[in-house]
Amino acid sequence: MSAVPAFSQTLRRHQLDLARGQTSVLQVNVGLLCNQACRHCHLEAGPARPEVMDAATMEQVLAYARRGRFQMLDITGGAPELNPNLELLLEGACALLPRVILRANLTALASDQHRGLIPVLAKNKVVITGSFPSLNAQQAEAQRGPGVFERSLECLGLLNQAGYGQPGSGLELDLVVNPAGAFQAPEQAATAKRFRQALASRWGLSFNQLHVFANVPLGRFKTWLLASEGYEPYVRRLAEGFNPCALAGVMCRGLVSVAWDGYLHDCDFNQAAGLPLGGRRTHISEMEGPPPQGQPIAVGEHCYTCAAGAGFT
Amino acid sequence: MSTYYDPQDLPRFAEIGQQAPELAQKFFDYYGAVFAEGELSAREKSLIALAVAHALQCPYCIDAYTQACLDKGSNLAEMTEALHVACAIRGGAALVHGVQMRKQAQKLSL
């Protein structure tokens, strides 16, 4: 069996370039500290990680959001709730941008220490995107750790009580499903329908949208794939699913990703892979505005994840 | 490899068309249509296929439909329940023939 071709080679074979369109989304990784150590995490976030964005860098993020006239701020981690300065970023961002998203793992937010953040999020109409990989506790916890399933359900209950995911509240609660292993992401519309029915009938819970994302072969997931001799077959399946049409909608064309230390990447996956924006290490304070249209996007083997099937948003 | 079943044979399934391409094409077209979304979802059809694969004890099909079920969002609990459906029907089919056994035994017995 021949080797999987490099992603750049596949682009050339299809006579395609991967370059930036208009960049309107600023994604901020506020740190790799997390209360969980999920086995699919491309950033290898966890309780022992010291990398946390400081208040000065957050101020630089807000200043960049202002001068770059971004339309959306997408806050991710680690568990962003564990950053002690998160409220500073949230309040500042909500005053500046039409849409602010917080990617939550649904356990940090439900903890006694952080559940006080829920009214702050609601007041500012922050969109919450929560990880909820499976309706099956065993499968969810195989990915995310013991006890996570029950605590995630508890968090969804708290968010529903605060108005999130309820019709007419204007408070958006979205779920993210990642496969709990070396298999493909299921079809999104059918999965959303199934999760909506099951969450309502079994637990009386509701949400707005559900997004299905494939696992990216980087970080802890890559380590597991290599150890289980599944790396090559997994990447091969992704490569066989290469869809030239999916490239038009990949997130890196319209997003710039800021790492915890203020350095920039084309996306969160390139951050994990150590690929800097524009081919050189650039700090957020050096940027006058969004990266220019047409700027080439750094690619690697992991890019097959977003270019397979219907793509990745 | 000197066994009857080789996992590397599964990706070679299409070679079966070499001596009868038209028949193979009809079969593969039909196969694809059967597993498309319909009144049953593709996920449900994969669970049925997994159960049938166990009833037929086809190792190629077990591998293929384990992967397909996971790809389509099923979990191990659902897949195990599907397997018990196959087991119940196979077991029930054996046991229900006991009626014939009993009738025959009664006929032959004093």
The pLDDT assigned to A3 comes to 86
Supply A212's token pair.
């299905």
User: For residue A277, is it within any domain?
Assistant: yes
Q: Determine the residue of chain A that is closest to B72 in CA distance.
A: A186
**In chain B, which residues have their Cβ closer than 8 Å to the Cβ of A184?**
71
User: For residue A234, is it within any domain?
Assistant: no
Mutate to test the interface with A, among B35, B41, B76, B78 (most CBs of A within 10 A): B76
User: For residue A16, is it within any domain?
Assistant: no
The pLDDT assigned to A312 comes to 54
User: For residue A300, is it within any domain?
Assistant: no
The size of chain A, in residues, is 313
User: For residue B91, is it within any domain?
Assistant: yes
A156 vs A165: CA distance, rounded Å: 9
User: For residue A232, is it within any domain?
Assistant: no
* CA dihedral of A149, A155, A158, A164, whole degrees rounded to 10: -110
The pLDDT assigned to B14 comes to 92
Q: Determine the residue of chain B that is closest to A1 in CA distance.
A: B8
**Shortest alpha-carbon distance between residue A270 and chain B (Å):** 25
Question: Could you tell me if A74 and A101 are in contact, meaning their C-beta atoms sit under 8 angstroms apart?
Answer: yes
State the average pLDDT over residues A96-117. 96
CATH of residue A255: 3.20.20.70
* A186 Cβ under 8 Å from any chain B Cβ: yes
User: For residue B11, is it within any domain?
Assistant: no
Supply B32's token pair.
């694809």
Instruction: State whether ipTM is beyond 0.85.
Output: no
Amino acid occupying residue A160: N
Interchain pair B42, A190: CB under 8 A = yes
Give the CB-side neighbour count of residue A298, counting CA atoms within 13 A. 21
**In chain B, which residues have their Cβ closer than 8 Å to the Cβ of A136?**
75-78
User: For residue B15, is it within any domain?
Assistant: no
**What total of structural domains would you count in chain B?**
1
Supply A241's token pair.
């699913």
Share of chain B above pLDDT 70, in %: 99
| A107 dihedral zone (left: phi>0; alpha: psi -120 to 50; beta) | alpha
- Maximum CA extent, chain B: 61
Q: Is the peptide bond before A78 cis (omega within 30 degrees of 0)?
A: yes
Interchain pair A139, B72: CB under 8 A = no
- Maximum CA extent, chain A: 56
> What range does the domain containing A127 cover?
23-222+250-292
* A2 Cβ under 8 Å from any chain B Cβ: no
| A124 dihedral zone (left: phi>0; alpha: psi -120 to 50; beta) | alpha
CATH of residue B104: 1.20.1290.10
How does the average pLDDT of chain A come out, rounded? 95
Entry pTM: 0.88
Question: Could you tell me if A253 and A296 are in contact, meaning their C-beta atoms sit under 8 angstroms apart?
Answer: no
* Interval A27-77: pLDDT, tens: 999 999 999 999 999 999 999 999 999 999 999 999 999 999 999 999 999
**What total of structural domains would you count in chain A?**
1
The pLDDT assigned to A260 comes to 98
| Inter-chain Cβ pairs, chain A and chain B, closer than 8 A | 37
Supply A13's token pair.
């074979």
User: For residue B10, is it within any domain?
Assistant: no
> What range does the domain containing B48 cover?
40-108
Q: DSSP class of residue A298?
A: P
State the average pLDDT over residues A202-210. 98
* Position with higher pLDDT, A265 vs B109: A265
State the average pLDDT over residues B80-102. 96
Interchain pair A190, B78: CB under 8 A = no
Q: Is the C-alpha dihedral spanning A264, A268, A270, A274 positive or negative?
A: positive
